Amino acid sequence: MAIIVNAAKCIGCGSCVLLCPEEALDVSPSFVVEVDSENCTECLTCLDCCSNDALGEST
Amino acid sequence: MAAARLPHSKMGKMKTDIVIIGSGIGGLCAGALLAHSGYKTIVLERMPIAGGRYTSVKYKGYTVPTASWMLLYGKDDPVYKTLQEVGAPEIEMRGAGTPMARYRISGNIYDWPEKGALRYLLSVASHDEDEVNRVMTALGQAMSEETPSNEISFRDWLFQYTRNEAIHSIFQAQIATWCGMNADELPAGEFIRALLSFRGKSDFRIPKNGLKDIIDALEKVIKENGGEVWKLTAVKQIVVQDGESRSIIAERNGNEMEIEASVVISNIGPKKTIELAGVGNFSESYLREVNEKVRPSVGMDYLFITDKPLLDFPGTLYTTDTRRKVSWSVPTMMWPEHAPNGKHLLHGFAVPRSTLDYDPKEEHDIFMQDLMDVFPDFKKCGGQLLLRRNFCGEWPCTRAWQGYDVTQETPIENLYNVGDGAKPEGWIVGSGAAESGRIVARKIMERIKPWGR
Ligand SMILES: Cc1cc2nc3c(=O)[nH]c(=O)nc-3n(C[C@H](O)[C@H](O)[C@H](O)COP(=O)(O)OP(=O)(O)OC[C@H]3O[C@@H](n4cnc5c(N)ncnc54)[C@H](O)[C@@H]3O)c2cc1C
Ligand code: SF4
Ligand code: SF4
């Protein structure tokens, strides 16, 4: 499983970045969030932070 | 290991006086006032923390706001008044002191004096006393006699008195910073009302741990008065029957629950309120009004880490001569504890040339050029990016442009909107969101008694 970002929906508001307990997210220069899969523990906190429905989980 | 999402179990049911959807500053101000007045109040928040865009978190050792930085009107701020009215303990806050602001105009930096500030800055920008008098007289008349129409933008209104871009840029810097808009997008009447609401009251304050201190205090009041603030609880539906809101359906810990409430207050923006209550429950004219009016104000927001403070005062520097009219501050000048020892923060905020249509990547390049222009020593001072953010869409600067808000009442009985899509005239950003919450709390207290009373 992994966190997937829907680049068309992500605005780069950073809301998920601030609340990821592993600091595994960052906003790219084109304002789309990037997931560092090395550090992501798949806790799914970020999914609850996104107002733009831009995050999901892949199986 | 990933936490699996639980399948829905049987729906739990509850009853309460007030349900508030969303724990933004508008929702929490309404909630604290109502709970303190004896209404059983349940606040439901989708995120793991309360406060929405009006709180702060620790990020990589720095205190970072989720969006909003400060209380704008000091002791006259609706947030401050709410804290007082609900008997919350005093929160330690600091202001910028003097000068509160500096302006870079045509390459030179000027302090915002305590008296006659606007005239002074316009004189510096203009060097033509007739022009300054013309603008100041027009502003004075607009503030004391006839407020200009909202049908004309502030930029067009000002064009009647001056075409001097240096003067326009001073106003543009203020409007961008405080409204997340451009002067050609902001209705003239609304700018004048905002100036009036600020007159004698502008007193910016930041709490010790950021705005989280305020959110914690409001949440505590709600809980101490028998209410609840449930996080990780997303409302999925507002149940409407016969033109009246009856209950909400929410998802919490993988379970669905229905909460019956005398009143539902929505803090999630007028468009989402309609979505949750069902489009079919609103008249065509209301739907059209919300669709046409409610568009978000936006902003590109940057936090940098430096080894030395890049400004030598705790207030705001407005650069009116940069590509975008940027506001800069060093929050660690006010609260050094907002960064690890020996480190500082630099905050920059700019609004794209059009809030309706912009390319964030292009705005980023422009912002970085402005940064290097204003702070040529940025790299030498160990400058590095902490976080870049684009506030827009469903996580905007404000949900409705200043002057384009909808009323707090909705066509559905006992369903209200609060927040920065329902700001009262003249009240800006978070303070406007808070004031909308205060208005709704008052309306409810006039109409409905708490249970069992
Ligand atoms: C960069 C920036 C700087 C700013 N600086 C300032 C400043 O210094 N001072 C100031 O006063 N204002 C400032 N503002 C504006 C201020 O942040 C907002 O106006 C204010 O926070 C809006 O509050 P709100 O009440 O509308 O609620 P919001 O903050 O929008 O909160 C709504 C809450 O509802 C929750 N929610 C959404 N959907 C659901 C659902 N279905 N179920 C449950 N919960 C849900 C959300 O998670 C959120 O927590 C700034 C804004 C930006 C972007
Ligand atoms: S799933 Fe958890 S650890 Fe992974 S990016 Fe999201 S919040 Fe961070
Ligand atoms: S919260 Fe959503 S929109 Fe915002 S940066 Fe994260 S994924 Fe993108």
B18 strand-pairing partners: B41, B263
pLDDT over threshold 60, residue B9: no
Which whole number is the average pLDDT over B181-204? 92
Residue pLDDT, tens place only, B222-260: 999 999 999 999 999 999 999 999 999 999 989 999 999
Ligand 2 atom nearest to A49, measured from its CA: 7
Compute CA distances B280 → A16, B134, B221, B274, whole Å: 33, 52, 37, 9
pLDDT over threshold 50, residue B7: no
Q: Given its phi and psi angles, is residue B44 left (phi above 0), alpha (psi -120 to 50 degrees) or beta?
A: beta
What's the pLDDT band for B199 if we cut at 50, 70, 90?
A: confident
Query: Which residue among B49, B57, B393 places its CB closest to the CB of A52?
Result: B393
Radius of gyration of chain A (CA): 10
Q: What is the mean pLDDT of chain B?
A: 95
Ligand 2 atom nearest to B2, measured from its CA: 1
Domain ranges within chain B, ordered by starting residue = 12-92+209-295+398-447, 116-198, 299-391
pLDDT of residue B6: 39
Q: Which of B449, B423, B453 is nearest to B29 (CA)?
A: B423
Domain ranges within chain A, ordered by starting residue = 3-57
* A26 contact partners, CB below 8 Å, separation of at least 6: A17, A33, A34, A36
**For A3-57, CATH number?**
3.30.70.20
pLDDT over threshold 70, residue B453: no
pLDDT over threshold 60, residue B427: yes
Pocket test for ligand 3, best of A3, A10, A35, A53 (most atoms within 8 A of CB): A10
Q: Provide the shortest C-alpha distance from residue A5 to chain B (in Å).
A: 16
**A18 interaction partners in chain B (CB closer than 8 Å):** 57, 59, 64, 66, 387
CATH architecture of B299-391: Alpha-Beta Complex (3.90)
Per-residue tokens: B132: 């300054």
With both helix axes pointing from N to C terminus, report the angle between B129-144 and B188-198 in degrees, rounded to the nearest 10: 80
Which whole number is the average pLDDT over B60-81? 97
Q: B72 exposed, middle or buried (CB, 10 Å; 0-12, 13-18, 19+)?
A: buried
**B361 interaction partners in chain A (CB closer than 8 Å):** 29-31
The DSSP annotation for B373-401 comes to: HH-TTTTTTT-EEEEEEEEBTTB-SBSS-
pLDDT of residue B202: 79
pLDDT over threshold 90, residue B89: yes
Residue pLDDT, tens place only, A21-59: 999 999 999 999 999 999 999 999 999 999 999 999 997
Q: Is the CB of B24 under 6 A from ligand 1?
A: yes
Three-state secondary structure call for residue B229: strand
Domain B12-92+209-295+398-447 has CATH 3.50.50.60: yes
Q: Which of B275, B299, B297 is nearest to B287 (CA)?
A: B275
Per-residue tokens: B151: 């049908």
pLDDT of residue B164: 98
